Structure formats: C-alpha cells, structure tokens
Amino acid sequence: MIGQLTAVAGQARVRGYLVTLAAFAVAQGLAFVLLVPVLRALFAGDSAAAWPWLGALAAAAAACAVLQYRQAVQGFSLGLDLSRSLYHQLGDHLSALPLGWFEADRVGRIGRLVVQGVRAVMGVPAHLLQPVVTAFLTPVTVVVAALFLDWRLGLALAAGGLLLAGTYRYTAGLTERVDHAVDAAMAEAGGRVVEFAQAQAVLRGFGRTGAAHAELETALRRQHGAGRRSVTSVVPGLALNALAVQTVYTALIGLGAYLALGGSLDPAVLVALLALATRFTEPLMLAAELGGALRMGRNNLARFAEILATPPLPEPETPARETVPDAPAIRFDRVDFGYGGSPVLREVSFTVPPRTMTALVGPSGSGKTTITRLIARFFDAGGGAVLVDGHDVRDLGTEELMSRVSLVFQDVYLFDQTIEENIAIGRPGATTEQIRRAAGLARVDEIVARLPDGWATRVGESGAALSGGERQRVSIARAILKDAPIVLLDEATAALDADNEAAVTAALRALTADRTLVVIAHRLSTVRAADQIVVLDGGRVAEIGDHDRLLAADGRYAAFWRKRARAAGWRLRAGREDRGYEHAAPPAGAAPGTPAEFQP
C-alpha cells in the first residue's frame, strides 16, 4: 500500500506524512504511559513527585495535539494531491496509449475507477492510514515504556498485543478473499444496470425487456449473494477481534489484580494499568474495523497501477518529418496482424499513390476496418510494415502521423458543446471563418439553421440532439477543417433519409477532392469510382485492380459485383437512388450525383 501511494504521490510526500504519523502515535503512547507514574505519585500522596510527571504528561499531550493537527492537514492535502496526481497520470497515460486499447468495456471501467476509485484513494491517508499506523505504533510505544516501569506489565502487554495482531491478520485474511468477490460482483451489477438503461430502445423494440431483465436480475442476485457471503465472513471476523480484545483486557486485569493482591504491585499502578489497557486496545479495534476500507483503497490503487503499467506505443526519438519524394501515400508491406489471438491480416501488401481513391471491399470480418486502424496506428503491425508518405508509421510518431491523416468513421463522437466547438476540434486555433467555411462545405450550416440557438446550441452528450447523418456531417466538417492529405473513411452502412444522404454525399465530395482516400466502401458507386479496389478475404488480399480489370478477371470481385448489383437493381426498382461522390479521378463518363453503377 505504501509502495502504491509512493508511486502516485512521490516518495518525499508520503515519507513526510508517515514520519508525522509515527511521531503522533509515539507521543500518544507516551501520554498514555505517563499516567502510570502520575497516578503512582498521587496515590502515594507525594505531590512533589507527581508534578514533574504531570509536566511531562502535559508536554506529551501538547505534542499530541500539535502533531494531530499537523497529520490531519498533511493527510487531507496528501489525499487532494493523490487525486490530482492520479487524474494527471491517468490523463497523460491515456493520451499515449494505443487507440485500439480503448474498447467499450475498458472505457466503462475507467469511468467507474475515476468516479469511485479516486474518491476511495483520496480518503486513504487521512481516514485509513492514520488510524492504522496509530493502531500499531501506539501500542508498541506503550509496551516499550511499560517495560521500563514494570517489566511484568510490559511483557503482559506485549503478549496481549501479539495475540491481537495475530487475530487481526487472521480475520483480515478471511475477509480479503470475499472483498474481491464483492468488488467484482458490484462492478458487474453496475455495468448491467448501465447496459440495461442504454439498451432500452433496442430491448423494447424487440420485446426483449423480460430476457434482459433476467440478466440484470442474475447480476443483482450474484451481488446480493456476494454481499451475504461478505457479511457471514466479516461479522465473525469482527466478533473474533472483539473477543480477542476482551480476553486480553480480562487477562491483564486478572494479572494486575493477582500481582496487587500478592503485594508485588502497587495498587496505583494497577489502576493505571486498567486505564492503559483500555487505551491500548482501542486503536487495535478501530484498525480491525477499517481493514476492509483499507483493502478497498489498495485494490483501487492496484487498478490504477494496472492501467498506468499498460505500455504506450513507442514513439520515435526524432520523428521523421519530410515526405519521401515520389513515395506512395500509403504502403502495406507484407503486413501481419492479430488482436492477440488468431491472425486477422496475413501478408497484406498494396500501395496507394497520392491523390487516388482506394476502396477496400470484402466480406464481413475480412479485415477492412483493421487495415484503416493500422494506417492510423491504433495498433502496431505484428509483422511487415505500414508506411505513410514513405516512412514507417512507427518512425513518424503519433503527432506527425495524425497531422497527415483524417478519420471519418461511423461512430462519431460529439462533445456536449456547440457544433462550432465540435468542428473546431479538427484544427486547434482555427478562426471562426475557417470553421464556418468547413461547416458550409459539409452542409452543417443547414443543420445549424434549424437548431433553436443556431451556432450556440449545445448538441448534448454524444451529439444526442443530432441524427446519425447529421453527426456524420459534423465529423466530415472536422476533417475538412483539419485539411490532412490522407482521409480514411468508413462509409455509412445505415440508410440515411434522402436529404441527409445528399448532404453527406456533398460533404464527402468536398472532403475527398484532391486527397488520398482509403474507403471502406459500402456503396457500389464508390467502389466503381475507385482508382484501385483491394479485395480482401479472410485477412488476405484476394485481388487488386480497378473495376474494369477486376470485372474482366471474373474472380471474387466479379462475383461480389454481380451479387451487389442485383441487390442495387432491386433498390432502384424500389425507388431508391444510390448516389456516389466524385473523387479526383472519377471514372470516364460518370456525372456528378448520378449513380455510377447505372452509368451507360
């Protein structure tokens, strides 16, 4: 625990706090023990002898008060520093982790850790460490001092202290195992409640409220069961601790009475011993009660440490900056990749010349998204190399790579800010004029016109105030503002209404003109308009070429095209148009806004 705190708050801070805590515990112990000579002198009616001891007792009590104040101030400020340091370390580390690390469940766990974990860790110094350190050091001081006053008493206290410490360790071990189970069950139940709330629309739409409820019920039942098990192991532990304390207390009284009756112990010392025994056992009882909270704080610190120990993507010491002359914009050189388990991409090689459009096509799960993730360095390739502008992406560094690449994916994240602020993320420091121009090109100004407060309207958490197509237009406006030479685009699969589709198409036209484009293509018009089509199958490149060449080859692409064209024909008859967007090199004869696959 101390090691974990030191790692977060710094060695000097934690050591300084522990020194104050130790000084306070020792001063408290001394103040308890000084009762013995004071009472002995008073009982003997020797007030002259009592005064110096009283003076010493007053000094110890004053030192206690000062040190208590100091340790409280230090404890609270250390707690605040811990939370600040955790947030900073976490923020710094998260910004260096591979983008692929941020899966939904991890993000959820970080949310819980930041909200509950930081609060638990903040309270560790003042509310937990202080009582626990005091609980052990104060009795040790009492024992050592008592040995000087009466060795028999000292030994009895030492034996009592060891018994209590042993009992505490045993009961802590009993509850520790259950603590982990309770923690895990609570996290699972919390996650299920959130999932249940988020999935309401889907669940009701499919009449599955009962089934989903059953899963939530199971999680809650598990949590309840873990809670009960915790009670049945914690309560006996507490009872055992209390029993040990009472036993030690009774034994000390018995021993004191025996010695006093035998005449070898001053009755005044016996009275002092009784007072001492009470103060001696009190902190130990408190520590036993706080053990669970202490372990909780330690578990949370361990979770933070686990995240902080996740290795970030290595960054080059001197990132490459110059574009290699005549280099392709993107090159995959025998790239192998897997997400930990089985391989997903095998020996993938292709090149994308600057200012051309490459369409990635292939069955679901064939690796299209993975290819775009490797270009943006969400992960590093397992074998081979991914090159952008002639440099291995590992030599470019995240900042340089990201300045060259814009991502327009389907899951658009919008912050709960105005549309303008959301677009401005595309280029920090952009002027209002530049933002409005990008918004105009992406036809976001049309969305703004219907919003109640115009440009000042906040779009709600995750852009809830906007439709899917509208969110995508904001994301395209960001990319237009960013003005990166390479655009990675995952075409929307969801059907948009006619207006939105026309607007998205126009926005993409503005974004992709004169840029290098790699698109996960879902529309036939896009596929056909591509300068190059990379056909993937099972993580391998099955075919590469343009539409005409691949159609003539009569391979996988030709089969794919025939199947999709049949479906598109059905869509045409059903009254839907599949409108493509142009690129720098549109196919001969294609007219803007006309479905390329239905060209004469």
Ligand X SMILES: Nc1ncnc2c1ncn2[C@@H]1O[C@H](COP(=O)(O)OP(=O)(O)OP(=O)(O)O)[C@@H](O)[C@H]1O
Binding site for ligand X (CB under 6 A): 103, 339, 344, 362, 364-370
Question: Could you tell me the two tokens for 464?
Answer: 């809830």
Which one, of 345, 303, 244, 281, lies nearest residue 113 by Cα? Answer: 303
Place of tokens 């030690």: 248
Question: Could you tell me the two tokens for 433?
Answer: 């004029």
Question: Could you tell me the two tokens for 408?
Answer: 């327009």
- Helix (H) or strand (E) segment spanning residue 419: helix 419-424
Tell me which amino acid residue 462 is.
S
Long-range pairs for 540-549: beta carbons < 8 A, 24 or more residues apart:
540/345, 540/346, 540/347, 540/348, 541/348, 541/349, 541/350, 542/362, 544/350, 547/587
Residue closer to ligand X (CB basis): 366 or 532: 366
Residue closer to ligand X (CB basis): 71 or 370: 370
Shortest gap between Cβ of 517 and ligand X (angstroms)?
17
Shortest gap between Cβ of 338 and ligand X (angstroms)?
8
- Helix (H) or strand (E) segment spanning residue 532: strand 532-537
Residue closer to ligand X (CB basis): 383 or 593: 383
Helix, strand and coil content of the chain, in percent to the nearest 5, comes to 65, 10, 25
On whether the CB atoms of residues 89 and 280 are closer than 8 A, the answer is no
Tell me which amino acid residue 203 is.
L
On whether the CB atoms of residues 223 and 188 are closer than 8 A, the answer is yes
Cα Rg for the chain, rounded, in angstroms? Answer: 35
| Cα–Cα distance, 330 to 386 (Å, whole number) | 7
| Cα–Cα distance, 324 to 354 (Å, whole number) | 12
Shortest gap between Cβ of 368 and ligand X (angstroms)?
4
On whether the CB atoms of residues 232 and 178 are closer than 8 A, the answer is no
Backbone phi, psi, residue 518, to 5°: -115, 120
Residue closer to ligand X (CB basis): 14 or 533: 533
Quickly list H helices, 513-555.
Answer: 524-529, 547-553
Residue closer to ligand X (CB basis): 43 or 409: 409
**Contacts of 79 by beta carbon, 8 Å cutoff, 6+ apart:** 121, 122, 123, 124, 125, 126
DSSP secondary structure letter of residue 490: E
| Cα–Cα distance, 485 to 215 (Å, whole number) | 47
Exposed / middle / buried, residue 493 (Cβ in 10 Å: 0-12, 13-18, 19+): exposed
Residue closer to ligand X (CB basis): 100 or 586: 100
Full DSSP string of 554-583: TSHHHHHHHHHHHHHHHHHHTT--------
Residue closer to ligand X (CB basis): 318 or 364: 364
Residue closer to ligand X (CB basis): 368 or 391: 368
Shortest gap between Cβ of 344 and ligand X (angstroms)?
4
| Cα–Cα distance, 24 to 75 (Å, whole number) | 13
Residue closer to ligand X (CB basis): 362 or 469: 362
Which one, of 378, 382, 375, lies nearest residue 344 by Cα? Answer: 382
Backbone phi, psi, residue 103, to 5°: -85, 160
